[in-house]
Chains A and B, each alone.
Chain A
Amino acid sequence: MKLSEKAEEILEALWIAVEEEGARFLDPERMGFPADDPAYKELTGHTLVEIRQGMVYFRPEGREEGKMTIRRHRLAERLMMDVLNLRGDAGDDKACQFEHLLNEGVDIKICTMLNHPATCPHGKPIPPGECCADARAQGDLGVVALTEFKSGQEGEIAYIQTKDDKKMQKLMAMGVLPGNRIVLVQSYPSYIFRVGFSEFAIDSNLAKEIFVRK
C-alpha cells in the first residue's frame, strides 16, 4: 500500500490528535485540508479511516499505519539533525519531504544507523519498530560513544566523529583508529583507555568523539 503524501500527512495529524492529545477524532477544518479533498477518499478506500458527521476517525488498521507514518516522520527529523546537521525550520521542512521516502525497509536501515532513537528532536517519542524490539532483545548496544562503556569493557573502534581536525589527528596518533581494539580502563575522574600496550588519559570532550562497538 503506497499512500499519497497528503494522505500520509492526514494520518499523522490524526494519530497525534488521537494518541498524543487525547482527542477522539480529527476535525478536517483544523487540519487545513478541506473535507472534500481526494486524500480522504484514498484513506477511506484503504479502510484506514472513516468519516462520520464530517469528522475523521481511525479504523483499527489505520491506527497501526498512522503509528508507522509518524515513526518515519520523526526518524526523518532525527536524520536531518544528527547526520545532516540541519536544524530548526530548515530541518523540519526537509524532514517533511524526506519522510515519504522511508518505506520498504529504508526506515529500518535508518533506524539502525541512528541506533534506534527513542525520541525526535522535539522530544516526542518515536514509536518503536520491529528492528528496535529485536535490538533490545539481543542486547545489542550497537555503536556507542566511549563514554557509554563501563570500566573494563572492551570493544572495537567504529569511527571518530569530530569536526576538529586537530582532535582527529591527536586521537589517531594515540592509535585510535577504526578497527583497533580498545579497552576502557577507567571512566572517572578522567577516561583512561588502552590501545595495544599504551594507556592514555583523555577528558570527556574527547571521549565522546570516539565511537565503539561492543
Chain B
Amino acid sequence: MATGCGKQAEAPGKSPNIKRVALVGNPNVGKSVLFNALTGSYVTVSNYPGTSVEVSRGHAVINDQSWEVIDTPGMYSIHTITEEERVAREILLHETPDVVLHVLDARNLERMLAMTLQLIEAGLPVILVVNIMDEAERMGLTFDLELLRQRLGIPVIGAATTRKRGLDEIRSAIVAYRHDPENPPHFAYSRLLEHDINEVAGLMVGEYILSRRALALLLLQQDEEITALVRRREGEGFAVIAEKVREIAFNRRGSFHLDLSLERKDIVKKLILGVFTSPEKRVVTWAERLSCMSVRPLTGIPLLLIVLYFGLYKFVGDFGAGTLVDILEQKLFVGIFNPWITGVVKMIIPWEVIQELFVGEYGIITLGIRYAVGIILPIVATFFIFFSFLEDTGYFPRLALLVDRIFKRFGLTGRAVIPMVLGFGCDTMATMVTRTLETTRERVIATVLLSLTIPCSAQLGVILALLSKFPGALAVWGTCLLLLFVVVGLLAARIMPGEAPMFYMELPPMRLPQISNVLTKTYTRMQWYFLEILPLFVLASILLWLGKITGFFGKLITAMTPVMASIGLPRETAVAFIFGFFRRDYGAAGLYELQTKGLMDARQLTVAAVTLTLFIPCVAQFLIMKKERGWKVAGGIGVFVSLLAFGSGYVLNQFLLMTRLLS
C-alpha cells in the first residue's frame, strides 16, 4: 500500500513497447486461471474466495506483442472495503493498464455487472469476460452476449477458462482493443444523482487516470483514499470540493450507498433484459446435493469425520508418514544412501572434524538432508495433496460455516478454519494465511492457537508414528492439545480487546477438482516449503556440529537436564528440544530416534510429545510471526508458549505419575 506512490513514479519509466492488461473481478470467478492461461506461469488457483492476496505479474506474448499481465485480488466494488480490494484498486488508480479484463461469473451476471458499470464509468478500457459459461449452461441458463455487447458498448466474451474455452477470443480482443477515452459508453443515473455528480465533478480541475464522474461518486461515498488523492491533486481548490461533497452527503445522509446500489441495480436490470434467461425450474445438480449434506450438522459432521479419517489419517498418516517414510528414510537413506555417502566423504576428506560436519551424528547430509527428504518430504507432500484437493472441491467455506458458532467462542469466525486446517500442514504457511482474517484481534488469536496447539503435518506424522504403539498415550496427547486449544481460545476471546468479529462468506459451487490443478498447486506449495526449510535444516546441522566440537552442546544438555528431570524426562531428550528450537518437526524426529533406541517409556514419550508439540514454533514460523505481527506480539507469544509448554509438561507428568494412567 505504501508502495502506491512508488509504483506511480515508475510507471512513466516503463518500456513503451510493453502494454499492460489487468485482470479484475469478484473473488472466485477464475481470474487466476485466466492469468495462468495467458502467461503460462503459475499462481495458486483454488475454489476458495480470496486466495490471491497479492498482485501477481507475468508476461505474455500475444500476436507478437509483448504484454504484462497483472492478476489482482478479488474486489466486489470500486469502492473498496478490505485490504485486498485496496491492493486491487491501486493497480487501476496508478498503473494505467491498456486493457482491463473484467472477469465475472456467468451465473451471477446480474449481480456482478454493477462493477462492470463502475469500471466503464471510470473511463477504463474494459473488456468483459463472462466466465464459467460451462456451469451456467449446465444449470440451464442461456445468454445473448451479442446483445449485451451492443448495450454496453464494450467487447464481451463468453468463456470457460478452466476448459480452455474462449481463450483465443480473449487474446484477439486484447490485441484488437481500441480505447476511445473521448466517448465512453454512458449509463445515466436518475436526474437528481446526475445533478449531484456534475456539481462535484465540475469543480475538479486536476488530471486523473479515473474519470471525474467516477471520482465524484467515490468522494460522495466518503472513500478516504480517493479523498486524499483528490486533496493532493486539487491543492487549494479542494476546500470548495470538500464543502460541496459535505453538503450533498448531508442532504443524502443515511442512504447514499443504498441509493447508488439501487440505481445501479436498475440500470443492470434494463441491460440484461433479454440477455439472460433462466430455466423455470431450478436444476439441482449432484454437487448441490452434496453441498447440502456438508452444511447440515447432522450429515456434515459425519462427512467431516470421513474426510478426516480417509484424508488425514489414512492418506497422510498411514500412507505418507508410514509407507513412504519407511521406504525413503529407512530403506533409502539408512539402508543405502547414508553408508554410501559416508564412505565417499571419508575418502575425499581426510579430517575427521570436517567429516563429522557432513556425515556425522548431526551431519548435514546424514541428519539434515535425511530428516528433510526422508521424513518431512513424504508427510508434507501427502498433506498438501490432501489439502489442495479439498480446497478445489469448495469444501472449506462449508466447513467454515459449520464451525463458525464454535469458533466465535474463541474470538474467531469460521473464516479462521482455513489457517487452522492449513496449520496441520505447515504452521508457518498458516501464519501467513491469517492475513485473510478481518481484524487484528482475530489474527493474533489465530496466531497464538497455531503456534501453540496445532501440530504441523511433519510433527503430526512423526508423533503418530511415535505413539501409535501406545493407544492410551495417543489419546492423552490428543486430549491435552484439544483441552489447551479450547482453554486458551476461550481465555483469548475474553482477554483480547476489540469487537466480536462478523462472519460472511460466499459459498462457491462444489466441484470435482482437476487433478492437474491439484498437482501443480501441491508442487508450488512444496517448492515454497522446501526453499524455506532446507536451509534451516542445514543451518541446524552446522550449529549442532559446532556445538558438539566446541563442547557447548554438552554443556547445554547438562544445563537443561534439571528442566528435563522436572518434567520426568531422560537427559537425552534435551537434544530433541534443542532440535525443536529450529523446527518442531525436527525435534519430533529427534524423539523418534530416541524411541527407536528404547530410551523412553510410554509416560515419558507422552510428556515429551505434548511438551514438544506445544513448545515454541520453529524458527521459520517465529520469523513469519514477527513479520506479520511485529516484534512485541511475536516475542510475547513466544514467551507465553514456551512457559505454557513446560508448565503443561510438568502438570501432565505429575498427573500421569499420580494416576499411573499409562503404566
Known: A189-B402, A190-B401. A174 touches B261 (CB 8 A): no
- Let me know if A196 and B81 touch, CB within 8 A: no
- Report chain A residues within 8 Å CB of B278: 197
**Chain B positions within 8 Å of A165 at CB level:** 257
Q: Smallest CB–CB gap between A108 and chain B, Å?
A: 26
Interface residues on A, range: 20 to 34
The one of B77, B139, B262, B405 that contacts A177, using a Cβ cutoff of 8 Å: B262
Q: Which residues of A contact B413 (CB under 8 A)?
A: 203
Contact between B108 and A197 (Cβ–Cβ < 8 Å)? yes
Interface residues of B in 309-368 (CB under 8 A from A): none
Decide yes or no: A174 and B506 within 8 Å by CB, A186-B295, A201-B397 being known contacts: yes
Alpha-carbon separation in the docked complex, A172 to B257 (Å): 9
Residues in B with CB closer than 8 Å to A185 are 292
B408 in the interface, Cβ–Cβ < 8 Å?
A: yes
CA distance A175 to B257 in the complex (A): 13
Task: Answer whether A169 and B79 are a contact pair too, CB < 8 Å, given A186-B296, A200-B507.
Answer: yes
Instruction: Identify the interface centre among B77, B110, B297, B505: most chain A CB within 10 Å of its CB.
Output: B505
Contact B261–A170 (Cβ < 8 Å): no
CA–CA, A72 to B503, complex, Å?
A: 40
Establish whether residues A178 and B262, one from each chain, have CB atoms under 8 Å apart when the complex forms. Answer: yes
Over the window 177-197 of chain A, the binary record of Cβ atoms lying under 8 Å from chain B Cβ atoms (1 yes, 0 no) is 111100001101110100111
Extra pairs beyond A189-B401, A201-B398 (6, CB < 8 Å): A168-B258, A196-B107, A201-B404, A203-B408, A205-B500, A206-B503
Output the least CB separation between A106 and chain B (Å). Answer: 23
- In the complex the two chains form, is B506's CB within 8 Å of A200's CB? yes
Check: B76 CB closer than 8 A to any chain A CB: yes
A162 shortest CB reach to chain B, Å: 11
B265 close to A (CB within 8 Å): yes
A177, B502: Cβ atoms closer than 8 Å: no
Instruction: Report how many A-B pairs have Cβ atoms within 8 Å.
Output: 104
On chain B, the residues within 8 Å of A203 by CB distance are 404-405, 408, 413, 502-504
B649 within 8 A of A: no
Q: Does B400 count as interface, using CB distance less than 8 angstroms?
A: yes
Give A185 to B502 CA distance when docked, in angstroms: 19
Distance of A4 from chain B, by nearest CB (Å): 37
Contact pattern, B 382-425, Cβ under 8 Å of A = 1, otherwise 0 = 00000000000000011011111100100001100000000000
Beta-carbon contact of A201 and B507 below 8 Å = yes
Contact across chains for B111 and A195 when beta carbons are under 8 A apart = yes
| A90 within 8 Å of B (CB atoms) | no
Q: Which residues of B contact A197 (CB under 8 A)?
A: 107-108, 136, 139, 141, 278
In whole angstroms, how far apart are the Cα atoms of A31 and B655 in the complex?
A: 71
**Contact residues in B for A138 (Cβ distance below 8 Å):** none
B residues near A52, Cβ cutoff 8 Å = none
How far does the Cβ of A145 sit from chain B's closest Cβ, in whole Å?
15
Residues from 11 to 59 in A contacting B, C-beta threshold 8 Å: none
A128 to chain B, nearest CB (A): 32
Q: Mark B495-537, 1 if CB is under 8 A from A, else 0.
A: 0000010111111000000000000000000000000000000
B111 partner residues in chain A, CB cutoff 8 A:
175, 195-196, 198
Contact at B297–A177, with CB atoms within 8 Å? no
Contact of B503 with A189 in the complex, beta carbons under 8 Å: no
Q: Is A202 an interface residue (CB 8 A)?
A: yes
Within 8 A of B (CB), among A153-167: 160, 165-167
Interface majority SS (helix, strand, loop, mixed), chain B:
helix
Chain B: which residue is nearest A164 at the CB level?
Answer: B502
Q: How far is the CA of A202 from the CA of B295 in the complex (A)?
A: 13
Tell me whether A174 and B262 are in contact (CB under 8 A).
Answer: no
Contact A202 B257 (CB under 8 A): no
Partner of A170, one of B81, B295, B401, B404: B81
Cα distance, A170 to B506, chains bound together (Å): 11
Which applies to chain A's interface (DSSP): helix, strand, loop or mixed? Answer: mixed
B500: chain A residues at CB < 8 Å are: 205
Min CB distance B634 to A, Å, is 28
**Cβ contact within 8 Å between A173 and B77:** yes
Q: With an 8 A cutoff between CB atoms, is A82 at the interface?
A: no
Q: Within the complex, which residue of B261, B297, B414, B503 is in contact with A172, where a contact is CB–CB below 8 Å?
A: B261
Closest beta carbon of chain A to B491's beta carbon, Å: 22
- Which one of B139, B401, B506 contacts A198 once the chains associate, using CB atoms below 8 Å? B506
Q: Is A206 within 8 A of B502, CB to CB?
A: yes
A-B contact pairs, 23 of them (CB 8 A): A172-B257, A174-B504, A177-B258, A177-B261, A177-B262, A178-B262, A179-B265, A188-B297, A189-B402, A189-B403, A190-B295, A190-B414, A192-B295, A196-B107, A197-B141, A198-B107, A199-B291, A201-B295, A201-B414, A202-B502, A203-B503, A205-B500, A206-B504
Q: Are the C-beta atoms of A201 and B502 separated by less than 8 Å?
A: no
A183 — nearest CB in chain B belongs to which residue? B282
Which residues on A are within 8 Å of B, measured CB to CB?
160, 165-175, 177-180, 185-186, 188-190, 192, 195-203, 205-206
Partner pick for A192 among B107, B405, B507, CB 8 A cutoff:
B507
| A179 neighbours in B (Cβ, 8 Å) | 262, 265
The 8 Å CB contact of A190, one of B81, B136, B503, is B503
Interface pairs A-B: 10 shortest CB-CB: A173-B76, A201-B401, A197-B107, A190-B401, A203-B503, A199-B507, A175-B111, A202-B504, A189-B405, A172-B261
**Assembly CA distance A171 to B502 (angstroms):** 12
Distance (whole angstroms) from the CB of B101 to the closest CB of chain A: 20
Q: Which residues of B have CB within 8 Å of A200? A: 504-507
C-alpha gap A164/B76 in the complex (Å)? 18
Q: CA of A186 to CA of B295 in the docked complex: distance in angstroms?
A: 8
CB distance from A209 to the nearest CB of B (A): 10
A151: nearest chain-B partner, CB-CB: B296
Instruction: Provide the residues of chain A in CB contact with B505, threshold 8 Å.
Output: 200-202
Q: Is the beta-carbon distance between A167 and B401 smaller than 8 angstroms? A: no
Q: Which of B58-104 contact A (CB under 8 A)?
A: 76-77, 79, 81
Least distance between B461 CB and chain A CB atoms (Å): 31
A205-B502 contact, Cβ under 8 Å, with A173-B76, A192-B295: yes
> Cβ of A199: which chain B residues have Cβ within 8 Å of it?
291, 506-507
The interface residues of chain A lying within 8 Å CB-to-CB of B507 are 192, 198-201
| Complex contacts, A195 vs chain B, CB 8 Å | 111
When distances are taken between beta carbons in the complex, the residues of chain A under 8 Å from B261 are: 172, 177
Residues of chain A within 8 A (CB-CB) of B414 are: 190, 201
Which of B77, B278, B295, B408 has most chain A Cβ within 10 Å?
A: B295
Q: From residue 104 to 139 of chain B, which have CB atoms closer than 8 A to chain A? A: 105, 107-108, 110-111, 136, 139
B413-445: CB near A (< 8 Å → 1, else 0) gives: 110000000000000000000000000000000
* Interfacial chain A residues near B401, Cβ < 8 Å: 189-190, 192, 201
CA A201 to CA B413, docked complex, whole Å: 12
B139 proximity list for chain A (CB < 8 A): 197
**Residue from A160, A170, A190, A205 whose CB has the most chain B CB atoms within 10 Å:** A190
Nearest CB of chain B from residue A189's CB, rounded to whole Å: 5
- B138-155 interface code vs A (CB 8 A; 1 in, 0 out): 010100000000000000
Beta-carbon contact of A160 and B504 below 8 Å: no
Task: Give the CA-CA distance A168 to B257 in the complex, in Å.
Answer: 8
Closest approach, in angstroms, between the C-beta of B103 and any C-beta of chain A?
Answer: 15
- Residues of A within 8 Å of B504, CB to CB, are 170-171, 174, 200-203, 206
Give Cα distance in the complex from A177 to B405, angstroms: 26
A179 to B81: give the CA distance in the assembly, Å.
24
Residues of B within 8 Å of A196, CB to CB, are: 107-108, 110-111
Asked if B257 and A169 sit within 8 Å, CB to CB, the answer is yes
B190 CB → nearest A CB, Å? 15
Shortest C-beta distance, B473 to chain A (Å), equals 33
Nearest opposing residue in chain A for B26, CB measure: A173
The docked-state distance in angstroms from the alpha carbon of A93 to that of B490 is: 43
Residues of A within 8 A of B136 (CB): 197
CB distance from B203 to the nearest CB of A (A): 25
Assembled-state Cα–Cα distance A186/B504 (Å): 14
Give A203's nearest chain B residue, CB to CB.
Answer: B503
